[in-house]
Amino acid sequence: MDTYIIVEDPKSWNLKVPGVEVVKARDYLSDERYSTAGTAKVLNCCYYYHYQSTGYYVSLVAAARGHYPMPSVQALQDMRHNVVIRRASHNLTMQIQRSFKTVHGDTFELSIYFGKNVAHRYSTLSKMLFNLFPLPFFRAYFIKEKGEWLLDDVRIIAVRDIPEHHRSFVMEQISGYIGRHTWKRRGKQQPYHYEMAILNSSEDKTPPSNPQAIKKFCRAAERNGVGIEIINRYDYAQLDRYDALFIRDTTAVNHYTYRFARRAESVGLVVIDDSLSILRCANKIFLTELMRRHGVNTPKSLIISKHTAHKVKEAIGFPCVLKIPDSSFSLGVYKFESQDEFHSALDTYFKESELLLAQEYIPTEFDWRVGILNRQPLFVCRYYMADQHWQIYNHHTPNGTDCGMADTLPVNAAPKRIITTALRAAGTIGDGLYGVDIKEVKGRPCVIEINDNPNIDAGIEDEVLKDALYDTVIREFIRRMDVSHGKA
């Protein structure tokens, strides 16, 4: 994907970034070469961005052409609305107070360049503000009222207004934002073919990949000519510097992972897993209805509200399993032995969701997990129940969470009926990376759920394929990036 830096006067632009074309704004808006070009990233560094100015039209026209402008017109408009600024001040109030607790006076200005400030102590706040206002260069104005710091205004900094003592820092941030990283191969510096981000935040208590697996993904990317960076939940606004996003945090709809997927898709990145897969897999009620519609065998199930919960005894029987629709890793999944026990707990669970899912209890020694990538089986595991527990995870032991053992089989050694059922179930979701959980009842596969970001942990899911598993995932990213960039 080409990258353009758009300025009013290219002669005044003294930064040279290999592979990046500096374009006069007037030419970008009127020259047919740019209107008929393929997808491109556009760094809009014009002097003015007010409504119907040259800078405004650069971002507007870029979006119309299918380019990816930075800043977008939406970001330019957001900074002008007081309600957006007030909401940002409220959402960031704890970080704002923490950042300015030693500042004297009642006003403060913070200059932010691609999410960074020259003073390291303001780095967290700068990044959080950049996520809310994805503008290349802007100044945030704060005031102190009744002992509390508030965000009062946000204004773009024109390149010509950047202080002289900030310029070297700003040039460094621009180079880092749009520049290609290099790698060493046989003693030579070569550019990466693509750049990819892995979303893996330390705050995630149940990440789908352990640290060793993340390292293996990074090594596989380097082996295959892909630059790799680990990002966290605060790097939202920097997504458009990459070509792909691999989400390795536990996903949910009302969650930063979904917002990352949507943002990445909007700026043309290849994303696994995509936002639609997250939507489809995150809710067990949706999956139940989807499997029913496509004739995929599942446990006997009943979607219940407060008014229909009494039907569980007749339709499902006891013991039964009750599931919060958006739960994961065995959290929000409960077993009830009797109708009295079931009904006494309902009020608590209906506080979390208007609808719940009741399913028949199917005891098995293990669950099958079939990992699927782009409609092809990637790995097959057997996840055994935790010791003296009915689930794979037991979150209520004296020593914390206990997990059952697991083993991994070659795909061709697993029962064909398990693989066929998994492929059929995952095919109703899409062509991403999925983990299909299956119980086998009297030789008949029964789909329990489909996960949009299945576990890939070093020492478990990679037990058979070893490094080839990580290479396979990275090469699928490359294939998709080649298609996205018109190379395939």
CATH 3.40.250 positions along the chain are: 2-76
Q: How far apart are CA 106 and CA 309, in angstroms?
A: 57
Residue 295 reports pLDDT greater than 80: yes
- Percent with pLDDT over 90 in the chain: 47
Which tens digits make up the pLDDT trace of 111-125? 999 999 999 999 999
CATH 3.30.470 positions along the chain are: 79-175
Q: Which fold has domain 2-76?
A: Oxidized Rhodanese; domain 1 (3.40.250)
Which tens digits make up the pLDDT trace of 228-247? 999 998 888 788 788 999 99
Q: How far apart are CA 488 and CA 478, in angstroms?
A: 10
Tell me which of 3.30.2310, 1.10.3470, 3.30.470, 2.60.40 is the CATH number of domain 79-175. 3.30.470
Mean pLDDT of all residues belonging to the chain: 88
Residue 174 reports pLDDT greater than 60: yes
Q: How far apart are CA 221 and CA 225, in angstroms?
A: 6
Which tens digits make up the pLDDT trace of 192-202? 788 999 999 98
pLDDT at res. 187: 46
pLDDT at res. 200: 95
CATH 3.40.50.10860 positions along the chain are: 180-273+475-484
**Residue 147: both structure tokens together:** 């002992």
pLDDT at res. 409: 96
CATH number corresponding to 300-361: 3.30.1490.20
**Residue 176: both structure tokens together:** 């880092």
CATH number corresponding to 180-273+475-484: 3.40.50.10860
pLDDT at res. 183: 47
Residue 396 reports pLDDT greater than 90: no
Look up the pTM and report it.
0.75
pLDDT at res. 130: 92
- The stretch 8-18 carries a mean pLDDT of 76
Instruction: Identify whether the C-beta of residue 411 lies closer than 8 Å to the C-beta of residue 349.
Output: no
CATH 3.30.1490.20 positions along the chain are: 300-361
